[in-house]
Structure 1
Amino acid sequence: MTGSQVLPLRPMTVGELLDAAASLLRAWWKPMLAEAFFLALIEQIGMTALRMTSIPTGTDSFLYLTMQSSSFSWLWMWIGLSTETVIITLLGASAARAARSTLLGEPTGTWRALWRSPVPWGRVLGFIAIVAPIASIAAAMCGLPWLVVYAFTGLIVPVMVLENTRFGEAVGRGLKLAGRGGMRAAGVRMLGYLSWALVRLSIFCAAFSAADRIAEFAPLLRDNFWIMLGVIYLAVNTMGYAMMACLDAVTLIETRIRYEGLDIALNAARRAGVPPDLSPPRIVYGPIGGPHG
């Protein structure tokens, strides 16, 4: 695959952005899914232990008992949203690195090709140390403020990796790009997460319904319901986390193409036979005050 086949160098619709994110994940599925699986496994070990200590198994109705335990449901949501912020942000660095290698026309799909592209881990981890408590506080406020934090912080780590900008500049630029065009990038990230959340909610309700139905003739599954649910979530979250991270990287590239002419710069570099420059565009103001790229 060439870069243009994986990542179309043109403005895209929301549906095309999702397709491009899926194409990026397919091109780099081995390292991306391996990293997502490892992080999701740690998360589900902790979440399964929390569920097992909160609400015992072997009850007549898991769904009814869970709905009655609103404090535990809130605790699950709070911890889950907080850990998802960290996981997707970490994977965003790898997704941006994969997108960078793809744009530069490097071989795709291997660990060696992915890790060849440098990542400013100090800046990435520094940002996680800041955004994690903010997201945790927002998640504790019934989840809605968390969605706003999630929507506007998705491009910051991809900016750090793709453009190799300084910490403060990357944070400001990521927030600015998320708000460009009527908050288009922020809206795309929110839409992607909500779509994935609906899939997980459907699986959640189906698992509870199945547990109630099989309780009479499958006591083994009933008694190990939280483990079974953890395994299901592990599979779903592995794919979902990787997809969300790839969507962030693709959204950054598409936003730069739409508003900064990144496609023009990349095509010009290829025609000239020089390495593409992915750094932020520099605006120079002329004598009459007008901006010149």
Structure 2
Amino acid sequence: GWGAPGQGYGGPGGPAGWGGNWGGPPPAAKPGVIPLRPLGVGEILDGAVSTMRTYWRTVLGISLTVAVITEIAVILLQGFFLNDTEGSDALSDPSATVGELTRALGDTMLSSGVVLLITLLGTIVATALLTSVTSRAVLGKPVTTGEAWRDARPQLLRLSGLTLLLPVIALLIVGVGTLPGVLVGVAGSGDAGAALAVLGGLAGAVVAIWLMVRFSLSSPALMLEKQGIVKSMSRSVKLVRGSWWRVFGIQLLATIIANIVASIVVIPFALLAAALSGDGFSGLLDSSGGDIGWTFLIISGIGSVIGSMLTLPISAGVTVLLYIDQRIRREALDLDLARAAGVP
């Protein structure tokens, strides 16, 4: 038989030598920042960091430019238009009327929404450009900022629609979950309605998270496959199917790492800004202490720029490499990548 010692094909040291001298398959080719084979969690994270380290001029240049433009817009809006303390005073005033509270809450939501929209637009542009850079880095091919822009520009409008659509879907799901409790509360049963709204909201949040993970690879599918919004979402669902927990865990880990890095950078700048501003640390802790000064806005904005410059490449790189890894596992994309990289 094949397994008899000293005989046949499988015997250690046998005539054919298959069992004694074969050292396993050759190592996977690595023309760029990752080996062309199914990746582990550490290799995905390392690939994102390696892309930033190897092509730092392009990657950090894109991130810094987008972060500076975004933060300047936010600072100017907060300094000139969104720095109204009457709303915050009304929210903290027990004697405020319902009309004052409603107006203050509306102004606060509008201010937060405008800042969030500006930040989201900057993130869309950075994600589009960094997706192009990371996909080239997998092949070991450098790309300039101009080349990344020319490659990403045709898909920017679709990427914007996709990025805005996903949170709307999540909010609608949570809203549908809380709606029965709200209706019960309006009907007259306040306590039962509140409890039902909380339970429905939690159930809706679970469903929303489940869907968002299934759609989490839509962005690289849209950018790299030149797909439409709906087609890229269906591609993401197909790639994530059967690997939901793995995709969720890697995305969560990348988010935690990015937030830790951002906090390490942003918190010291925020404390320095509070110390140098007129109200000091008490003004940072007291939301009704007066207008936010330009000193605080500028110094804290510098910290936000540095934090975004470091975290944007990590988040975008992990998503792109996770997309590539899922395609390698399901569609043998590694063979096409090796061929594109010129690997024998």
TM-score band, normalised by shorter chain = 0.5 to 0.7
Q: 1:162 aligned to 2:224?
A: yes
Contact 1:153–1:174 (CA under 8 A) maintained in structure 2: yes
Q: Which residue of 1 aligns with 2:307?
A: 236
Superposition deviation, residue 233 in structure 1: 0.6
Residue number in structure 2 paired with 1:29: 56
One-letter amino acid of the counterpart of residue 128, structure 2: A
- Alignment partners' CA distance in 1, 2:33 and 2:257: 23
Aligned equivalents of 1:73, 1:16: Cα separation in 2: 42
* Native 8 Å contact 2:265 2:306 kept in 1: no
Q: Which residue of 1 aligns with 2:262?
A: 200
Work out the CA distance in 2 between the residues paired with 1:265 and 1:255.
Answer: 14
Shift of 1:234: 1.1
The answer to whether structure 1 residue 39 and structure 2 residue 66 are counterparts is yes
Matched residue of 1:4: which SS? Answer: coil
1:247 to 318, 329, 334: 318
The whole-number CA distance in structure 2 between the counterparts of 1:253 and 1:193 is: 19
Structure 2, gaps ≥5 residues long: 1-28, 94-103, 176-201, 281-292
| Aligned counterparts of 1:11 and 1:230: Cα–Cα separation in 2 | 40
- Ranked by relative contact order (alpha carbons within 8 Å, sequence separation 6 or more), the top structure is 1
Which letter does structure 2 place at the counterpart of 1:189?
Q
Q: CA 1:136–1:73 in 2, change beyond 3 Å: closer, same or farther?
A: farther
Q: 1:162 to 1:211 in 2, by over 3 A?
A: closer
Which residue of structure 2 aligns with residue 89 of structure 1?
Answer: 124
The Cα shift of 1:137 comes to 7.8
Deviation digits for residues 29-56 of structure 1 (CA, Å, limit 9, x no counterpart):
3233222223222321232234435458
Alignment of 1:271-290 (within 5 A): none
What does 1:184-223 correspond to in 2, within 5 Å? 184-214=246-276
Question: What does residue 290 of structure 1 align with?
Answer: none
Q: TM-score, normalised by structure 1?
A: 0.67
Please give the per-residue CA displacement for 1:86-124, whole angstroms capped at 9, x wherever unaligned.
Answer: 433333332332233344454x153466467x44x4444
In structure 1, the gaps of 5 or more residues are 58-64, 274-293
For the pair shown, which has the larger CA radius of gyration, 1 or 2? 2
- C-alpha RMSD of matched pairs (Å): 4.3
- Whole-angstrom distance in 2 between the partners of 1:254 and 1:150: 19
1:257 deviates by: 2.0
* CA drift at 1:173: 0.4
Distance change >3 Å, CA 214–CA 149, structure 1 → 2: farther
Letter aligned with residue 35 of structure 2: P
1:135/1:249 Cα in 2 relative to 1: closer, same or farther (>3 Å)? same
Contact 2:276–2:295 under 8 Å retained in 1 = no
What corresponds to 2:40 in structure 1?
13
SS in 2 for 1:12: coil
TM-score, normalization by structure 2: 0.58
Deviations 1:135-175 (A, max 9, x none): 36858989x96977765544223123333445533221023
Give the distance between the partners of 1:77 and 1:190, measured in 2 at CA.
24
Distance 1:228 1:211, change over 3 A: closer
2:167 to 135, 140, 147: 135
Write out per-residue CA displacement over residues 6-34 of structure 1, whole angstroms, 9 at most, x where no aligned residue.
12223333232111011122333323322
Q: Which amino acid aligns with 2:130?
A: A
Match of 1:49 among 51, 76, 89: 76
Q: Contact conserved, 2:66 with 2:126, CA < 8 A, in 1?
A: no
Q: What's the counterpart of residue 173 of structure 1? A: 235
Identity %: 22
Residues 78, 136 of structure 1: 8 Å contact kept: no
Give the conservation status (yes or no) of the 8 Å contact 2:214–2:241: yes
